[in-house]
Structure 1
Amino acid sequence: MNNHKKFRLIGFCSVSALALVVQGTAQAYTLEVGDTTADIYGYAKLDLIYDVDADLGNTVNRNAILLDDQAGPEGHTTLHAYQSRLGFTTSTPAGGSELKTTIEGDFFGGGGGSFRLRHAYGEWSGLLGGQTWSNFGGFLGMNPTIDFTPQPGLGNAGRQAQLRYTVEGFSVALEDPENLGGSPLADATKSQLPDLTLRYQGGVDGFDYGASAMLRRLQYDTTGTTDSGKDSAFGWGLALEASARVAEGVTLRGSLTHGDGIGGYLEGTPAAPAYLDPATGELETISATGGTLGITAAAGPGNVTLGYGVARADLDEAVAAGAVADSANEKFQAVHLNYIWSPIRNVTYGIEAGYHSRQVVDGRDGDALRLQGMVMYRF
Structure 2
Amino acid sequence: MTVIGNTGGRLSAVTGHRRLLALSVTVALLLPGAALAQTAKEKELEARVAQLEQMVQQLVAQQQQTQATVADTQAQVTEVKTAQAQAPAAVPAGKQPIQATAINAGGNPGTTFTYGGFIKFDAMATDTSDGRIADGSAGRLFYLPSAIPVGDAGADGGDPYTDVHAQFSRFWFSSDTVTDNGDTLKAYIEADMYGGGNNNFAGNETSTNTYAITLRQAYVSWNNWLAGQTWSNFQDTAALPEAVDFVGVTDGTTFVRQAQLRYTSGPWSFSIENPQTTVTSYLGASRFNSGDGVLPDFTGRWITRGDWGHFTVAALLRQFKYGDETETGGAVSVSGKFNLGASDDIRYMANAGSGIGRYMAFGLGTDTVLDANGELHALDGYGGFVAWRHAFNGKLRSNLMYSAAQFDNDKALTGFGVTERAQSFHANLIYSPIPKLDVGAELMWGQRSLEDDREGDLKRIQTTVKYSF
TM-score by length of 2: 0.68
How far has the Cα of 1:140 moved from its partner?
4.0
Contact 1:52 1:370 in 2 (8 A): yes
**Alpha carbons of 1:50 and 1:172: their partners in 2 closer, same or farther (altered >3 Å)?**
same
| 1:151 maps to which of 242, 249, 254 | 249
Q: Compare 139-148 and 250-259 and name the one that shifted more.
A: 139-148
How far has the Cα of 1:157 moved from its partner?
3.7
Where does residue 26 of structure 1 map in the other structure? none
Where does residue 342 of structure 1 map in the other structure? 432
| 1:167 maps to which of 265, 269, 272 | 265
Where does residue 271 of structure 1 map in the other structure? 365
Counterparts of 2:146 and 2:273, CA distance in 1: 27
Q: Deviations over 1:129-160 (max 9, x none)?
A: 01111100102432221111441354524211
Where does residue 227 of structure 2 map in the other structure? 129
Where does residue 218 of structure 1 map in the other structure? 320
Where does residue 302 of structure 2 map in the other structure? 200
Q: Which has the higher contact order (CA 8 A, sep 6+)?
A: 1
Counterparts of 1:251 and 1:302, CA distance in 2: 15
Where does residue 110 of structure 1 map in the other structure? 196
How far has the Cα of 1:84 moved from its partner?
0.7
How far has the Cα of 1:119 moved from its partner?
0.8
Where does residue 169 of structure 2 map in the other structure? 84
Where does residue 65 of structure 1 map in the other structure? 148
Counterparts of 2:290 and 2:146, CA distance in 1: 25
Contact 1:152 1:269 in 2 (8 A): no
Q: Deviations over 1:310-337 (max 9, x none)?
A: 011111x2x213xx23121111111110
Counterparts of 1:51 and 1:367, CA distance in 2: 11
Where does residue 40 of structure 1 map in the other structure? 115
Counterparts of 1:241 and 1:284, CA distance in 2: 28
Where does residue 375 of structure 1 map in the other structure? 465
Which structure's residues are more often helix, by fraction? Answer: 2
Unaligned runs of 5+ in 2: 1-97, 134-138, 198-202, 204-210, 282-287
**Alpha carbons of 1:345 and 1:205: their partners in 2 closer, same or farther (altered >3 Å)?**
closer
Counterparts of 1:252 and 1:149, CA distance in 2: 17
Tell me the C-alpha RMSD between the 2 structures. Answer: 2.1
Paired letter, 2:176: S
Find out whether 1:351 has 2:441 as its counterpart: yes
Counterparts of 1:242 and 1:292, CA distance in 2: 11
Unaligned runs of 5+ in 1: 1-28, 222-229
Where does residue 51 of structure 1 map in the other structure? 126
Which structure's residues are more often strand, by fraction? Answer: 1
Contact 1:269 1:288 in 2 (8 A): no
Counterparts of 2:365 and 2:274, CA distance in 1: 19
Q: Secondary structure at the match of 1:66?
A: coil
Instruction: Give aligned-pair identity as a percent.
Output: 30
Paired letter, 2:357: G
Q: Secondary structure at the match of 1:63?
A: helix
Paired letter, 1:353: L
TM-score by length of 1: 0.83
Paired letter, 2:412: A
Contact 1:85 1:107 in 2 (8 A): yes
Paired letter, 2:402: Y
Q: Compare 125-134 and 337-346 and name the one that shifted more.
A: 337-346
Structure with greater Cα Rg: 2
Where does residue 101 of structure 1 map in the other structure? 187
Contact 2:279 2:290 in 1 (8 A): no
Q: Deviations over 1:167-208 (max 9, x none)?
A: 111110011112xx6456626651111111111111233131
**Alpha carbons of 1:372 and 1:245: their partners in 2 closer, same or farther (altered >3 Å)?**
same
Contact 1:141 1:292 in 2 (8 A): no
**Alpha carbons of 1:70 and 1:102: their partners in 2 closer, same or farther (altered >3 Å)?**
same
Q: Deviations over 1:296-323 (max 9, x none)?
A: 00023131000011011111x2x213xx
Paired letter, 1:290: G
Q: Deviations over 1:233-287 (max 9, x none)?
A: 1011100002111122100111110010112112344311011110x43211100
Counterparts of 2:401 and 2:178, CA distance in 1: 41
**Alpha carbons of 1:330 and 1:69: their partners in 2 closer, same or farther (altered >3 Å)?**
farther
Q: Compare 50-59 and 123-132 and name the one that shifted more.
A: 50-59
Contact 1:269 1:311 in 2 (8 A): no
| 2:340 maps to which of 241, 246, 251 | 246
Counterparts of 1:122 and 1:370, CA distance in 2: 39
How far has the Cα of 1:74 moved from its partner?
2.5
Paired letter, 1:261: G
| 2:412 maps to which of 303, 312, 320 | 320
Counterparts of 1:366 and 1:208, CA distance in 2: 36
Aligned pair count reads 336
